[in-house]
C-alpha cells in the first residue's frame, strides 16, 4: 500500500505558502520507513488522478480518485456569509447545474495568519475569504454491499481556539481506506464567528439566534451531511462528530443544543474540556462592544457593523466560543450535563498528559504562580516538591482538561456508555527533555498520519504502533458505537470503577489514575459553574 502525499490539486493551492512543501503530509501505514520513502517518490511521479462526479442537492461536484479515497474539496454547504449575511444564520447555497470542480482545497475562514506564510497556531496558511463555508469529503472507493445503509461517517470539527484553523488541513484518506466517510468542515471564526452586539440583537428576526454563528455553521454542515452523504456512500444514520480543543469544546456545546439533536449518533471529544462558566448574551454584548471601542471601531448600526473591513475584525482578540444566547443555547454544556439535558449518545472523551503546553514555555510569570491555591499543595505533593512551575502546570492540566473530561464521562455514564482516555505518548523524535504529551499531540495518531512538519525519517516503529492502535479505536467506534481496539478491552467508564484507556509508551487500562488530584479539582471548580440553575 503506498503512503500518500497531499494530492497534487491540494498542493497547487497551498504549497507555495508552506516552508516545508517538500515534506508534504504523510498518510501513514505500518510499513518500513525506507519502503515508504520509495513509494512516496513513485507517488510524486504518478499520473494525475481521474475525476469522479457526484450529484448532491445543490448540483454536481467533480472530485478526484486518489489512492484509498475519492476526494472532494471545497464543497459549499451554506451561502457566503457576506454583506447582509455577515453575522446572520447560515443560508442555503444557490444551486448550480454545471459540474463544480472539487479537486482543489478552498480558502480558510478569515483569521490571523503568519506573515512569512508558515502555518499559524491552528495549522492554517494560504488564502482566506469570508466566503469560506465549505467542507471536504474523503469517501471509500468500495463500500461493501453488506454495509447496511452505507459506510459510517465521521465529521471533524477542527480546533484553534475558535479563532484559527481550517478543515482542509486534515486529510481523511486513511479513514476512507478503513471504510469510513470522513468529512472536514470550515466554520466562521473569531469576531466573525462568535460576536454579539445590541444592534444585531435588536435587528434579528423573531426567534432567530444571534452570536453563535460558528456553532450555527457547524449545525448547517451536519444538516448538509444528512441530506447529501448517501451520495458519497455514507450512512446519514451513523454519523460520529469528533473534534479537538475548541472543536471538542464545540462538540460539547452541540450536545447541549437541541437544534443539533438527531444530526449525529456518536461523539468524540479530544481535549475539549467540560467545565464552562456561563456567559450570558448581555455579558457577551458588553464585552464585544468594548472590544470594538478598544480597536477604535465606532460602528453602531447593523449596516455600519457589516461594513467594517474584515482586516479590522481579524485582529480582535476576544473571548470566542459558544455562549448562552437564549435561543440556540439556553445553558452551557456543563449545566446541561448537570441537569441531565446533554444528548444521550455514545461518547469518547479524554485529554493529554501535557495540556499545560497551552500555557506556553516557561518560566511562568509570578502572577500565575501566585494563583496556586494553598489547598492544592498537599494533594499535589510530587509536583509541589518539584517547584511551583511544575505545580502550576499540573493544576492547569487537571483543571482545564483532565478533571473536566472525567466529570463529563461520569455524568454521561448514566445513559449511553462513555469511554475515557488519557494520551501520554511522546514520539521518539522528541528530545528526552519532553516527557509529556502536549495539547494536540494525539491528532497525528487518531488520523494515522504525520503532519507537514514531521518527516517520515523521524517516525519510529513505535509511533506507527500507537497510531495504528488509536486510529483503530476511533474507526471501530464510528462503525459500532463502541471502541474495539487492541488486545485489551477498553471498558466503558463508570465512577465506581474509574477506569480509562491510556495511550502511551505502554498502552492499557488504568484504574483511579490521578484520582486524588481530579477529585480535588472537582471540589474547587464545580461551585463556579452555576450548576443546578
Mean pLDDT over 466-475 rounds to 98
Label residues 353-371 b or e (16+ Cβ within 10 Å = b): bbbbbbbeeeebeeeeeee
DSSP string for 234-245? EEEEEEEEEEET
Mean pLDDT over 461-490 rounds to 97
What is the Rg, in whole angstroms, of the alpha carbon atoms belonging to the chain?
A: 23
* Residue 279 DSSP label: -
Pairing mode of beta strands 508-511, 100-101: unpaired
Res. 154: pLDDT tops 90: yes
Res. 6: pLDDT tops 50: no
More confident of the two residues 518 and 533: 518
Alpha-carbon dihedral of residues 463, 466, 471, 474, nearest 10 degrees? -150
What is the rounded average pLDDT for all residues in the chain? 91
Look at residue 142 in the predicted model and tell me its pLDDT. Answer: 81
For 509, the 3-state DSSP assignment is strand
Residues identified as active-site:
245, 355, 439
Question: For residue range 357-408, what is the model confidence (pLDDT) as tens digits?
Answer: 999 998 999 999 999 999 999 999 999 999 999 999 999 999 999 999 999 9
Name the nearest CA neighbour of 275 among 533, 522, 464.
522
Question: For residue range 300-337, what is the model confidence (pLDDT) as tens digits?
Answer: 999 999 999 999 999 999 999 999 999 999 999 999 99
Res. 8: pLDDT tops 90: no
Residue 442 Cα to chain centre, angstroms: 12
Mean pLDDT over 506-520 rounds to 98
Question: For residue range 26-71, what is the model confidence (pLDDT) as tens digits?
Answer: 332 323 323 333 333 333 344 567 999 999 999 999 999 998 999 9
Q: How far apart are CA 339 and CA 530, in angstroms?
A: 11
Q: How far apart are CA 131 and CA 136, in angstroms?
A: 15
Q: How far apart are CA 337 and CA 483, in angstroms?
A: 23
Res. 22: pLDDT tops 60: no
Q: pLDDT category, 533, cuts 50, 70, 90?
A: low
Q: Answer yes or no: pTM beyond 0.75.
A: yes
Look at residue 26 in the predicted model and tell me its pLDDT. Answer: 31
Q: pLDDT category, 5, cuts 50, 70, 90?
A: very low
Mean pLDDT over 291-295 rounds to 97
User: Exposure of 143 by Cβ count < 10 A (0-12 exposed, 13-18 middle, 19+ buried)?
Assistant: middle
Going by C-beta distance under 8 Å and a sequence separation of 6 or more, which residues neighbour residue 310?
110, 130, 192
Res. 9: pLDDT tops 50: no
What is the residue whose three cell numbers read 461493501?
144
Name the nearest CA neighbour of 89 among 256, 204, 249.
204
- Count CA within 13 A, CB hemisphere, residue 177: 20
More confident of the two residues 532 and 400: 400
Q: pLDDT category, 449, cuts 50, 70, 90?
A: confident
DSSP string for 68-115? TEEEEEEEESS----GGGTTS---PPPP--SPEE-SS--PBPS----T
Look at residue 145 in the predicted model and tell me its pLDDT. Answer: 56
Q: How far apart are CA 78 and CA 132, in angstroms?
A: 9
Res. 24: pLDDT tops 60: no
Q: What percent of the chain has pLDDT above 70? A: 89
Q: How far apart are CA 215 and CA 220, in angstroms?
A: 9
Res. 216: pLDDT tops 60: yes
Look at residue 49 in the predicted model and tell me its pLDDT. Answer: 72
Kind and range of the H or E run holding 139: strand 134-139
Q: Phi-psi category of 51—alpha, beta or left, where left has phi over 0 and alpha has psi -120 to 50?
A: beta
- Output the CATH code of domain 8-528: 3.40.50.1820
Alpha-carbon dihedral of residues 316, 318, 320, 325, nearest 10 degrees? -110
Mean pLDDT over 457-467 rounds to 95
Look at residue 318 in the predicted model and tell me its pLDDT. Answer: 95
Q: pLDDT category, 532, cuts 50, 70, 90?
A: confident
Question: For residue range 328-371, what is the model confidence (pLDDT) as tens digits?
Answer: 999 999 999 999 999 999 999 999 999 999 999 989 999 999 99
Mean pLDDT over 212-220 rounds to 98
Report the residue count for the chain: 533
Question: For residue range 137-151, what is the model confidence (pLDDT) as tens digits?
Answer: 999 998 765 556 899
Q: How far apart are CA 87 and CA 284, in angstroms?
A: 14
Look at residue 146 in the predicted model and tell me its pLDDT. Answer: 53
* Residue 194 DSSP label: B
Amino acid at each position: 500500500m503506498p503512503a500518500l502525499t497531499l494530492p497534487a490539486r491540494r498542493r497547487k493551492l497551498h504549497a507555495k505558502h508552506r516552508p516545508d512543501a517538500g515534506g508534504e503530509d504523510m498518510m501513514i501505514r505500518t510499513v518500513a520507513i525506507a519502503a515508504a520513502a520509495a513509494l512516496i517518490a513513485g507517488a510524486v511521479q504518478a499520473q494525475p488522478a481521474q475525476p469522479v462526479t457526484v450529484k448532491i442537492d445543490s448540483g454536481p461536484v467533480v472530485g478526484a480518485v486518489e489512492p484509498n479515497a475519492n476526494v472532494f474539496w471545497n464543497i459549499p454547504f451554506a451561502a457566503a456569509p457576506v454583506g447582509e449575511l455577515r453575522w446572520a444564520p447560515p443560508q442555503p447555497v444557490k444551486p448550480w447545474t454545471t459540474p463544480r470542480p472539487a479537486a482543489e482545497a478552498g480558502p480558510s475562514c478569515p483569521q490571523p495568519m503568519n506573515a512569512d506564510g508558515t502555518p499559524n497556531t491552528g495549522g492554517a496558511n494560504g488564502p482566506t475569504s469570508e466566503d469560506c463555508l465549505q467542507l471536504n469529503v474523503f469517501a471509500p472507493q468500495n463500500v461493501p454491499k453488506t454495509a447496511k445503509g452505507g459506510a459510517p461517517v465521521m465529521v471533524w470539527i477542527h480546533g484553534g481556539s475558535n479563532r484559527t484553523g481550517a478543515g482542509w488541513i486534515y486529510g481523511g484518506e486513511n479513514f476512507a481506506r478503513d471504510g469510513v466517510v470522513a468529512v472536514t468542515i470550515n466554520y466562521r471564526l473569531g469576531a466573525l464567528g462568535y460576536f454579539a452586539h445590541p444592534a444585531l440583537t435588536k435587528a434579528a428576526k423573531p426567534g432567530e439566534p444571534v452570536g453563535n454563528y460558528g456553532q450555527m455553521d457547524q449545525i448547517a454542515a451536519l444538516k448538509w451531511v444528512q441530506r447529501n452523504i448517501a451520495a458519497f456512500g455514507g450512512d446519514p444514520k451513523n454519523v460520529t462528530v469528533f473534534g479537538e480543543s475548541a472543536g471538542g469544546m464545540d462538540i460539547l456545546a452541540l450536545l447541549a443544543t437541541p437544534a443539533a439533536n438527531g444530526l449525529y449518533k456518536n461523539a468524540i471529544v479530544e481535549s475539549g474540556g467540560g467545565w464552562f462558566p456561563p456567559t450570558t448574551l448581555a455579558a457577551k454584548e458588553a464585552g464585544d462592544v468594548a472590544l470594538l471601542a478598544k480597536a477604535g471601531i465606532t460602528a453602531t448600526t447593523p449596516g455600519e457593523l457589516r461594513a467594517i473591513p474584515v482586516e479590522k475584525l481579524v485582529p480582535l482578540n476576544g473571548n470566542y466560543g459558544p455562549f448562552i444566547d437564549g435561543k440556540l443555547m439556553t445553558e452551557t454544556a456543563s449545566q446541561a450535563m448537570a441537569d441531565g439535558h446533554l444528548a444521550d449518545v455514545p461518547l469518547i472523551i479524554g485529554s493529554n498528559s501535557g495540556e499545560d503546553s497551552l500555557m506556553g514555555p516557561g518560566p511562568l510569570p509570578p502572577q500565575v504562580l501566585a494563583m496556586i491555591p494553598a489547598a492544592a499543595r498537599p494533594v499535589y505533593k510530587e509536583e509541589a516538591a518539584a517547584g511551583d512551575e511544575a505545580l502550576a502546570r499540573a493544576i492547569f492540566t487537571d483543571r482545564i482538561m483532565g478533571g473536566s473530561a472525567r466529570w463529563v464521562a461520569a455524568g454521561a455514564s448514566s445513559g449511553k456508555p462513555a469511554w475515557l482516555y488519557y494520551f501520554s505518548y511522546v514520539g521518539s523524535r522528541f528530545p528526552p527533555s519532553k516527557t509529556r504529551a502536549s495539547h494536540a499531540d494525539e491528532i497525528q495518531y487518531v488520523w494515522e498520519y504525520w503532519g507537514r512538519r514531521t518527516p517520515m525519517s523521524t517516525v519510529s516503529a513505535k509511533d506507527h504502533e500507537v497510531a495504528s492502535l488509536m486510529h483503530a479505536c476511533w474507526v471501530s467506534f464510528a462503525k459500532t458505537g463502541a471502541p474495539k481496539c487492541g488486545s485489551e478491552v477498553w471498558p466503558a467508564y463508570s465512577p465506581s470503577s474509574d477506569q480509562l484507556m491510556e495511550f502511551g509508551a505502554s498502552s492499557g487500562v488504568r484504574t483511579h489514575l490521578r484520582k486524588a488530584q481530579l477529585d480535588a479539582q472537582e471540589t474547587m471548580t464545580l461551585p463556579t459553574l452555576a450548576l443546578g440553575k
